[in-house]
Amino acid sequence: MTTSTVNDIDLTDPQTFLVSGIELVNMWRRFRAESPVHWHEAPGRAVPGFWVLSRHDDVMSVYRDNRRFTSERGNVLTTLLEGGDSAAGKMLAVTDGRRHRELRNILLKAFAPRVLEPLVAGVVERADRLVRHAVESGDCDFARDVAEHIPMATIADLLGVPTADRDYLLSLTKEALSTEEQGQSAEEALVARNELLFYFSDLAEERRADPRDDVVSVLATSTIDGEPLTEQEIILNCYSVIIGGDETSRLSMICGMRELIEHPQQWRRLKSGDVDVDVAVEEVLRWVTPAMHFGRRALEDVEIGGRTVRAGDVVTLWNSSANYDEAVFTDPGTFDLGRTPNRHVSFGYGPHFCPGAFLGRAELSALLIALRTHVAEAVPNGRAKPIHSNFLHGYSSLPVHLRPAHSA
């Protein structure tokens, strides 16, 4: 970073995040040291600016406080700066209060570990098969040939999406969050989001008439206080599941592979069994932090770190800083697959803690086990292509060469 103060850093610009990991770690260290509760101007926006919280304790305190902070006026910078989210009160992520609890209870039935056991078995088989095929090929784009196919197939199984539709849905999820290409227009993202909603509207209608053992059927046939969910609630929560379940897991896998290449000592620890895979999963999630931030609106005046957040103010919670806070993590700038405890906030915290966390961990675990089993060595085979986003962190392309574990 060449800026003189943190006031010169624009967190609304995706270009800010297209620097090396070390530069980002140093940037957030400066925020925590110089302005941990920071007012960020947002000229030309629907709101005058927003608060930036970079310390772990402050981020955690707002995550768990759904009395003084709300998600119903947006939960990421894009919607918060536009003044609100059209899905508020209908989609779980941007609904609070009793309706949030009722919707969450419905979805948690489908995400319970006991229910997901057969799905996890499929994840393990799929990850193993994809990694084996990639190793046999030798050269591959790990993002497109391996990581893309694990979470999307898993979420599609969970939702009951026909196999023939899955590539189409994957392309829509990428376009919906404008994460693939610099210069991708907001109109293209909006069209993709609408296409996803139309798709799930049609699928929900089919499931009402012919319920099956999937999330769409659960949503389409559930009731709250004796009343069925509205069509908007059904399709918006399907949209939320597929966006949340695909993007963050996919990016964690891609970045995890890249970090294992860049940290050969940690790769050797994983390969030798020196570190437990479940512990390694948590460090990958901390280090990568695929969802860099979430946000809230203050419902009343609140003091945070000696500064007064006024009612109506936008407050952003930067997971990508909290996960590197020296007050919580020993030597946070070191990638340590054996790190424990590991109080990362990559799945959020509190009432809006990610309901798919168990499944996300299972997917990453399956991938690490497959890599440990089938890969002797991985080396770069081209330039990694970072995504263009102020919300998500990761790569859309990761060319690698994989040497098989059992070669002569």
d(CA 11, CA 277): 34
Question: For residue 210, is it within any domain?
Answer: yes
d(CA 171, CA 7): 36
Question: For residue 190, is it within any domain?
Answer: yes
What was the pLDDT predicted at 137? Answer: 95
Which residue range forms the structural domain that includes residue 249? 6-404
d(CA 184, CA 4): 30
What was the pLDDT predicted at 185? Answer: 67
Question: For residue 1, is it within any domain?
Answer: no
* Backbone φ and ψ of 256, nearest 5°: -60, -45
What was the pLDDT predicted at 274? Answer: 97
What was the pLDDT predicted at 163? Answer: 86
Question: For residue 182, is it within any domain?
Answer: yes
pTM as predicted: 0.93
Question: For residue 60, is it within any domain?
Answer: yes
Question: For 299-344, what is each residue's pLDDT tens digit?
Answer: 999 999 999 999 999 999 999 999 999 999 999 999 999 999 999 9
Question: For residue 51, is it within any domain?
Answer: yes
Question: For residue 24, is it within any domain?
Answer: yes
Average pLDDT over all residues of the chain: 93
Question: For residue 10, is it within any domain?
Answer: yes
Beta carbons of 304 and 37 less than 8 angstroms apart: yes
CATH code where residue 42 lies: 1.10.630.10
Q: How many domains does the chain have?
A: 1
What was the pLDDT predicted at 43? Answer: 85
Name the β-bridge partners of 139.
401
Q: Encoding tokens for residue 279?
A: 């512990």
Residues of the chain with pLDDT under 50: 1-3, 180, 408
Question: For 344-369, what is each residue's pLDDT tens digit?
Answer: 999 999 999 999 999 999 999 999 99
What was the pLDDT predicted at 135? Answer: 97
What was the pLDDT predicted at 184? Answer: 58
What was the pLDDT predicted at 408? Answer: 34
State the DSSP code for 392: B
Classify strands 69-70 and 293-298 as parallel, antiparallel or unpaired: antiparallel
Beta carbons of 200 and 90 less than 8 angstroms apart: no
What was the pLDDT predicted at 133? Answer: 97
d(CA 308, CA 291): 26
Question: For 50-80, what is each residue's pLDDT tens digit?
Answer: 999 999 999 999 999 999 999 999 999 999 9
Q: What is the DSSP string of 7-48?
A: GG--TT-GGGG-S-HHHHHHHHHHHHHH-SEEEEE-TTSSSS
Q: What is the DSSP string of 222-260?
A: -EETTEEPPHHHHHHHHHHHHHHHHHHHHHHHHHHHHHH
